[in-house]
């Protein structure tokens, strides 16, 4: 059975999260799950500088995977869940490619920078800063 376009993106995102030593879980939609919850929930290992030098902490993240070119196709419930994750201090992104996820994880791991959620339109500008 061939993977869907979104399934292919999810497979590549899994590889990135594994390679970056992130804990992640893929939520299985069912009657008991939260509507709009992202496809991946993850904890990104991060070393904080300053007062916590050398201590490793995890940053909570939610990743909504979309097929290539479909990043604008989030539902209102998906956007709400991502905004709630961001408001609580986590990383919340919508991505249609694993390279973007890898860039975000690298930025968090090297700069502990999760100061904004990443709507698809702002993603490239945010990463270029």
Give the number of other Cβ atoms within 10 Å of residue 35's Cβ.
11
Digit-coded pLDDT (tens) for 15-53:
999 998 888 888 877 777 777 788 888 888 876 667 666
5-128 CATH fold: Trna Endonuclease; Chain: A, domain 1 (3.40.1350)
Cα dihedral across residues 90, 96, 98, 104: positive or negative: negative
Return d(Cα 81, Cα 59) in angstroms, integer: 16
Is the model's pLDDT at 73 over the cut of 80? Answer: yes
DSSP letter (8 states) at residue 53: T
């Amino acid at each position: 059975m061939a993977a869907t376009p979104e399934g292919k993106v999810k497979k590549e995102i899994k590889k990135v999260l594994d390679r970056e030593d992130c804990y992640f879980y893929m939520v299985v939609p069912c009657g008991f799950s939260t509507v709009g919850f992202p496809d991946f929930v993850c904890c990104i290992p991060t070393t904080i500088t300053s007062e916590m030098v050398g201590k490793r902490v995890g940053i909570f993240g939610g990743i909504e995977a979309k097929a290539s070119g479909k990043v604008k196709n989030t539902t209102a419930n998906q956007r709400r869940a991502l905004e709630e994750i961001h408001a609580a201090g986590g990383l919340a992104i919508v991505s249609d490619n694993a390279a973007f996820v890898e860039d975000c994880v690298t930025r968090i791991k090297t700069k502990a920078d999760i100061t904004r959620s990443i709507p698809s339109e702002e993603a490239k500008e945010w990463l270029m800063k």
